[in-house]
Structure 1
Amino acid sequence: MMSVLTATDPARGTVVQEVPAATPQEITATIDRAQSAFDSWRTTSFEERAEVLRAVAGHMRDHVDELALLMTEEMGKPITEARGEVNKAAWAAEHYAEHAQAYLADEVIASDATSSYVQYLPLGPILGVLPWNAPFWLAFRFCAPTLMAGNTCVMKHDPHVPGCAKAIADVFDAVGAPAGIFQTLFAQTPDVEQAIRDPRIRAVSFTGSERGGSAVASIAASEIKPAVLELGGSDPCIVLADADLVEAADIVTLSRIVNAGQSCIAAKRIIVERSVHDEFVGLLAERLGRLVVGDPREESTQVGPIARADLRENLHRQVTETVAAGATCVLGGELPDGDGWFYPVTLLTGVTPGMAACREETFGPVAVVMAADDAEQALALANDTPYGLAAAVWTSAERGEAMARDIAAGQVAVNGIVKTDPRLPSGGIKRSGYGRELGAHGIREFVNAQQVWVGPKQA
């Protein structure tokens, strides 16, 4: 019986896309094409590569509405956010087209050689294993630097967004990109191991769950292949008494509900200094209570559905267990009736370490507020997690910068929203993963930093 990858509209519960899953032979054939393409792509100039990436970006900007709708249908992203994501993906392509050559410029290092330097050379076909929550952005966060470095890309997207995955590959075909430099692999999750173990795949980029990352990293390590892992987070957002509480409430609300809260870098644990706790909770409740939950196709919708039924069930378990443990549910917290996998915007206060919504990553529109006596205790609470992806601090700029050094996270925003930006590196520590994506750091993950020593030796 043929296996298929199925996309279900989370707002309606209806199947919108079915794509046959790749057979073992098709996986091998895809990697064959990636290797053949690499043999010529690796010799192209930065400008030739940039021309392809700019064409891809232009095509996406010209077709933003139809590409955005695929995300809305397959994983429930509100249409206004989906358009923004397509444009951000195009920006990533344009950014690396513009800056890759400078990022990978030869680095001259003085030694006893007549000349010595490091040059950054491509490795070969790179496998990207990606999740459903930002189908276009994460694809281009992976492929734009990888392609500009001279590698080829095999993208194994999440099985719940096959239409998005196909559309991304179709964009490369539409602009006449060299065959095989970017391919979508419609593989079931267990079949990813075959691709990782194929000797022509030189490295793996994985974004997803801690459990999935552990499995991918273990297989890659057994084949002595590098990997970059961007995993989950239980990101703290510290709000101190000297913060601009109104602005903080505005930004924390946005950070918590983008993509219906289904984001690794969303503000998950909001740690508020006790002297302003009640005032801040009031501001937050007012803003969260105004948000419009509804059909993600509607322009007015701010919060769409949870992507899958099982994810909603787990989110509700986290909420109910946390309330049962003593937290207060200020807003939401009840499963709604009707079609689709919607979850109400929820605000929990009185949350303490050990409660489910604090101990686990919450993937949904659930704001968790914890109280801290002072900045020192807030820092301790922020770091009391096995994760270390991102964090935010609301206080004076000088104090926030000083605190950033003591926060165990790969990314800290002071008086602003935590976000990803093609110009700046992002990634985690501890159980949030390793390696970096984006910026100059990201493009150097999948290259051979080759040292060249040219004689004769100098005295």
Structure 2
Amino acid sequence: MKNLNLPDQNTWIGGKSEDCELQNGPYLYDPNTSEALVRSRSSSSSQIERAIGLANETHLDGAWSELGIEGRAPMLYALADELDAHVEEIAQLDSLNSGVPIRITRMFASSNGDTVRAVVQRALALGNAEALSADGRKVLIHRIPWGATALIMPWNAPSAMAVKKLSFALAAGATVVMKPSPASPFSTELVAKSAAKANIPHGVVSLVLGGANVGAQLVSDRRIRAISMTGSTTTGRSIAVAAGANFARLRLELSSNNPAIVCADADVDHAAKEIASGAMKLSGQWCEAPRRVIVAQPILQDFVAALREALAKLRIGSSLDDDTDLGPVAFEARKLELLSQRDALKVAGAEIIEIGSPQPTGWFVQPTIAVSADIDPGMEIFGPLITVQPSASDDHAIKIANSGHVGLAAYMFSSDIEKAHILGAKLQVGEVKINGTSVLDMSPISAQSFFGESGIGGHGDEDVFDFYSGKRIVGTDMKNLPI
């Protein structure tokens, strides 16, 4: 903390920063120490109005969209270079805001520039329009941005999510208004500053700050034509209601109580190590983390022992320490909810296994296992708490896994890969990983939909790029048609 300068929390409109008009919000804390850092700030209603108005005007006058991807690309490459210049600062700010170990936030921050470059290369390869086969007539499909677009980020991966959403939107020709989580505003300031230094035209990128009231004003405005949001199902449902009357295009990546099935023939030690790793990534605050483990009854006790051993090897400490494996959760309310969930599981009869000792300060939650034959499938856990329950058969495991709040991801562990593929295809989620729990996609052309209450839309670069633009066909009509 001694060498870390916190950026001002400013509103950015038209490529220029200005003071937030509301400056006395709740305190932001260092999750490692519980130390109060600064008060959060919020853009005023009039600032939000100006940001939306400018984004809409810039879209309508075509100052950005009519450049085409060839005209936009040099400025987007400049944005990538600017982000590369802020890697360490962004990594430290994200670690401080989220509690995620800096080794992980540094990986994210160091890839931000390359994220932009990869999106630009994809957009250049697609071009602005595609010629269709039409018996010699000129018929083109044009990719047209929907209009002013709201980008709403989560608190667990602030800069990575901001950069990914921003790069796809800008490459598609959209104008944007960004809003980070009020719990993690710091690094998005550097993203907005980088966009301004890249000479992206006036009005293309704006940044507003604040909580639910700011988000509500943003997503309910009729001039916002597309909304990309990553966050909780509760917030996503509110956005869907607010934006529905305007028929705004939605991409909502929400929460999910992701199951992991460990079959009787699985390598128990490998499954335990992978699930421990996956569940504790981002301090347990990863939307696709394995949260509830469904284990074949004959190997239940062996698995629990192996999972306990794997979790005990994690180095718990400050998120800003290079040696830390598991940091604190991001804020006090997150810690309190996890402790409440742990206590509720205990009252319901679960065996609670806590690993290590409580930390004296900060928002730390010990790695915890809750073992029970009956786990509420609707209890979504977002932190270092894993539930484990037995299954009587593979079919029984599938039935349990498909119950409750599920839809994003699932995990299968078995020594029989063909069987795992057959079982995995029965899971009502967008992605099933066999014998692993990595964060990265399994293929360069990976794609997955958000099922159930886990959202609207999906992952995969092709799908994400398509979200930010519609298709318009222009061409010479056929002659001598009967009707």
TM-score, normalised relative to structure 2:
0.88
For the pair 1:26 / 2:70, whether they are aligned, the reply is: no
Contact 1:412–1:418 (CA under 8 A) maintained in structure 2:
no
Q: What is aligned with 1:277?
A: 300
Change beyond 3 A, Cα 1:282–1:52? farther
Q: What is aligned with 2:412?
A: 393
Provide the C-alpha distance between the structure 2 equivalents of 1:128 and 1:84, rounded to a whole number of angstroms. Answer: 22
Q: What is aligned with 1:134?
A: 157
Q: Superposed, which structure 2 residues align to 1:51-450 within 5 Å?
A: 51-103=74-126, 106=129, 114-332=137-355, 336=358, 338-354=360-376, 358-395=377-414, 396-421=416-441, 423-450=445-472
Provide the C-alpha distance between the structure 2 equivalents of 1:453 and 1:96, rounded to a whole number of angstroms. Answer: 28
Give the 3-state SS of the residue equivalent to 1:266 in structure 2: coil
Provide the C-alpha distance between the structure 1 equivalents of 2:187 and 2:240, rounded to a whole number of angstroms. Answer: 25
Give the 3-state SS of the residue equivalent to 1:154 in structure 2: strand
Provide the C-alpha distance between the structure 2 equivalents of 1:280 and 1:146, rounded to a whole number of angstroms. Answer: 44
Q: What is aligned with 1:2?
A: 22
Contact 2:40–2:182 (CA under 8 A) maintained in structure 1:
no
Post-superposition CA distance 1:340-398 (Å, at most 9, x none): 111101112225233xxx43111111121121122111111110113211111122332
Give the C-alpha shift of residue 305 in structure 1.
Answer: 0.9
* Corresponding letter in the other structure for 2:103: T
Change beyond 3 A, Cα 1:308–1:372? same
Contact 1:104–1:444 (CA under 8 A) maintained in structure 2:
no
Change beyond 3 A, Cα 1:216–1:333? farther
Provide the C-alpha distance between the structure 1 equivalents of 2:91 and 2:401, rounded to a whole number of angstroms. Answer: 35
Deviates more, 1:222-231 or 1:82-91: 82-91
* Corresponding letter in the other structure for 1:326: G
Contact 1:67–1:167 (CA under 8 A) maintained in structure 2:
yes
Give the C-alpha shift of residue 43 in structure 1.
Answer: 1.2
Provide the C-alpha distance between the structure 2 equivalents of 1:110 and 1:405, rounded to a whole number of angstroms. Answer: 36
Provide the C-alpha distance between the structure 2 equivalents of 1:92 and 1:423, rounded to a whole number of angstroms. Answer: 15
Contact 1:420–1:426 (CA under 8 A) maintained in structure 2:
no
Provide the C-alpha distance between the structure 1 equivalents of 2:428 and 2:167, rounded to a whole number of angstroms. Answer: 28
Provide the C-alpha distance between the structure 1 equivalents of 2:410 and 2:111, rounded to a whole number of angstroms. Answer: 22
Contact 1:59–1:171 (CA under 8 A) maintained in structure 2:
yes
* Corresponding letter in the other structure for 1:142: K
Contact 2:295–2:391 (CA under 8 A) maintained in structure 1:
yes
Provide the C-alpha distance between the structure 1 equivalents of 2:454 and 2:406, rounded to a whole number of angstroms. Answer: 5
TM-score, normalised relative to structure 1:
0.92
Deviates more, 1:249-258 or 1:425-434: 425-434
Change beyond 3 A, Cα 1:283–1:57? farther
Give the C-alpha shift of residue 108 in structure 1.
Answer: 5.4
Give the C-alpha shift of residue 35 in structure 1.
Answer: 2.9
Q: Give the unaligned 5+ runs of structure 1.
A: none
Change beyond 3 A, Cα 1:262–1:451? same
Contact 2:76–2:198 (CA under 8 A) maintained in structure 1:
no
**RMSD over equivalenced CA pairs, Å:** 2.4
Provide the C-alpha distance between the structure 2 equivalents of 1:107 and 1:242, rounded to a whole number of angstroms. Answer: 50
Post-superposition CA distance 1:177-199 (Å, at most 9, x none): 33332221113321322222333
* Corresponding letter in the other structure for 2:393: D
Deviates more, 1:208-217 or 1:401-410: 401-410
Deviates more, 1:418-427 or 1:197-206: 418-427
Contact 2:354–2:367 (CA under 8 A) maintained in structure 1:
yes
Give the C-alpha shift of residue 260 in structure 1.
Answer: 1.1
Give the 3-state SS of the residue equivalent to 2:261 in structure 1: strand
Give the C-alpha shift of residue 104 in structure 1.
Answer: 6.2
Give the 3-state SS of the residue equivalent to 1:20 in structure 2: coil
Contact 2:22–2:43 (CA under 8 A) maintained in structure 1:
no
Give the 3-state SS of the residue equivalent to 1:40 in structure 2: coil
Provide the C-alpha distance between the structure 2 equivalents of 1:117 and 1:414, rounded to a whole number of angstroms. Answer: 42
Provide the C-alpha distance between the structure 1 equivalents of 2:128 and 2:399, rounded to a whole number of angstroms. Answer: 41
Give the C-alpha shift of residue 427 in structure 1.
Answer: 4.5
Contact 2:410–2:433 (CA under 8 A) maintained in structure 1:
yes
Provide the C-alpha distance between the structure 2 equivalents of 1:243 and 1:259, rounded to a whole number of angstroms. Answer: 26
Post-superposition CA distance 1:425-457 (Å, at most 9, x none): 344211111112441011111211223342233
Identity, in percent, stands at: 27
Give the 3-state SS of the residue equivalent to 1:272 in structure 2: strand
Change beyond 3 A, Cα 1:226–1:343? same
Deviates more, 1:17-26 or 1:251-260: 17-26
Deviates more, 1:400-409 or 1:417-426: 417-426
Provide the C-alpha distance between the structure 1 equivalents of 2:274 and 2:129, rounded to a whole number of angstroms. Answer: 41
Contact 1:133–1:263 (CA under 8 A) maintained in structure 2:
yes
Deviates more, 1:362-371 or 1:423-432: 423-432
Provide the C-alpha distance between the structure 1 equivalents of 2:347 and 2:280, rounded to a whole number of angstroms. Answer: 24
Give the C-alpha shift of residue 112 in structure 1.
Answer: 8.6
Change beyond 3 A, Cα 1:116–1:21? same
